[in-house]
Structure 1
Amino acid sequence: MSTPRVAKQERSEQTRTEILQSALDLFSTRGFAAVSLRDIAERVGVNHAMIRYHFGGKEELWRESAAFLFERLAKEIPPPAPAVEQSPVEALKRYIRGYVHYCARHPEHARLIVQESIEGSERLQWVADHYIRPNHARTLKLIEGSSMPAGLVGLDPVMLLYMVVAIAQMPYLVTAELQFVHGRDVLTEEAIDAHAEAVVKFIFRD
């Protein structure tokens, strides 16, 4: 049974997570400039002074929320370790499938990076230095160590990485368009599984 102190800590951690997730949702849909600490506080149902006390200003909260995002990515789909994998290609396929499911669960990830890329902000430079570049370095090592289909041999690995990211993310960036134009709900478990398999088949020509 939880003690009052433990229960308070759990509530505090839950509130912190809700603040970070709400910040991500708003920053990724409206853009950094259009979001205030009051907007985030109102969504969570807390006093905006509490957000300022725990996180500092809006810039600091953005960084905390971006760190939360990438740490969650690492927990939900940890990168394969090529040295212990029997088949680098199968490891890469498994990672791609996991990444598609991650994109479906957390469309705010891609949206946040797109928002910042349009501006080319210092925030993007920070997250690139701390998270994106190290993540890409690990993935590129996996790509370069895999036996790719003949049609992909010789392609720039960096551009190939971005091609994979694009086809994995796109349905979850334009979910409303797919619904309006084609009547497709791409967020059902069946649709996500089908897209994950289609991405792997498209890349590896299985």
Structure 2
Amino acid sequence: MAKQAVRRERPRKRAEQQRSLETRTSILDAAIAEFAARGFEGASIRAIADRLGLQHPLITYHYRSKDILWRAAAEHAFAQIRAGWDSSAPENSDLPPLARLREEYATLFRYTVAFPEFHRFMRQESLSNNPRLKWVAETVLAPLLGRLIPQIVAAQKQGLLPAVDPVLFHYMMVSLTTTLSGFGPEMQATSGRSAEDAKVVEAYWRLVDETVFGTNPGGRNVSGGEARKR
């Protein structure tokens, strides 16, 4: 009987763990949207709870303070980007540096198209010099740069990228990958083109790809089906 009880308990615990994981993911996604819209000072845990239809104490159960929640949200977003990199261009792959960079920046682009709130979330912190910006730079951004910079340098040595400061090249690419998420509403107002239209997404990235990396072999679709539709 004891063994049967243990066997019944394990699936129950796994289900509870899965529900807890899903709840935390929903909280972090809602937190990114709230911080993106209102900034750190204007956002509140209660407003984040309202976005989800949850009770305020449920969020503080998982994240004791707004600062802890902000940091967890940042780590959550960048973990998804890293997971995309590890899938499309793993560090131990045989892809040449330029091909890896193409995949990595395309992954970043896909993420910002699917979740434009992420770009706005980061922009809010860039408007002032604050402890959160310093923390995310040291904890999250530095390791990402440590992965990308050697690839940029290697591609430059092969004569495949401009011989400029690799950090400047990286931030140029960050700007290019976030253009639709940053200027989507303005583009919609001025031209009627939607940054959520898969054809617009594909055309824009094809332009970036051909301009920076050369012709895209095989014409791979970079929208990945992630552009959200209204």
8 Å CA contact 2:89–2:95 kept in 1: the answer is no
8 Å CA contact 2:30–2:48 kept in 1: the answer is yes
CA distance 1:43–1:144, shift in 2 (3 Å): same
| Partner-residue secondary structure (3-state), 1:144 | helix
* Mapped pair 1:132 → 2:141: yes
The residue that corresponds to 2:165 in the other structure is 156
Deviation string for 1:155-198 (max 9, x for gaps)? 11111111111011111112111111110012122222222221
What pairs with 1:88-127 in structure 2 (closer than 5 Å)?
Answer: 88-127=97-136
8 Å CA contact 1:37–1:48 kept in 2: the answer is yes
* Mapped pair 1:180 → 2:184: no
How much identity, in percent, do the aligned residues show? 30
The residue that corresponds to 1:201 in the other structure is 210
1:30 maps to which of 5, 24, 38: 38
Structure 1 stretches of 4+ moved >6 Å: 148-151
> How far apart are 1:131 and its partner, in Å?
0.7
Rounded to whole Å, the distance in 2 between the matches of 1:82 and 1:147 is 19
* Mapped pair 1:69 → 2:80: no
CA distance 1:54–1:141, shift in 2 (3 Å): same
| Partner-residue secondary structure (3-state), 1:56 | coil
1:180 partner amino acid: A
Q: TM-score, length-normalised on structure 1?
A: 0.89
8 Å CA contact 1:88–1:142 kept in 2: the answer is yes
Rounded to whole Å, the distance in 2 between the matches of 1:146 and 1:42 is 47
Rounded to whole Å, the distance in 1 between the matches of 2:147 and 2:181 is 24
1:72 partner amino acid: Q
Alignment gaps of 5+ in structure 2:
1-7, 216-230
| Partner-residue secondary structure (3-state), 1:145 | helix
Alignment gaps of 5+ in structure 1:
none
CA distance 1:38–1:82, shift in 2 (3 Å): closer
Alignment RMSD = 2.3
User: Which of structures 1 and 2 has the bigger CA Rg?
Assistant: 2
1:18 partner amino acid: S
**Total equivalences in the alignment:** 206
8 Å CA contact 1:172–1:186 kept in 2: the answer is yes
> How far apart are 1:89 and its partner, in Å?
1.7
> How far apart are 1:20 and its partner, in Å?
0.8
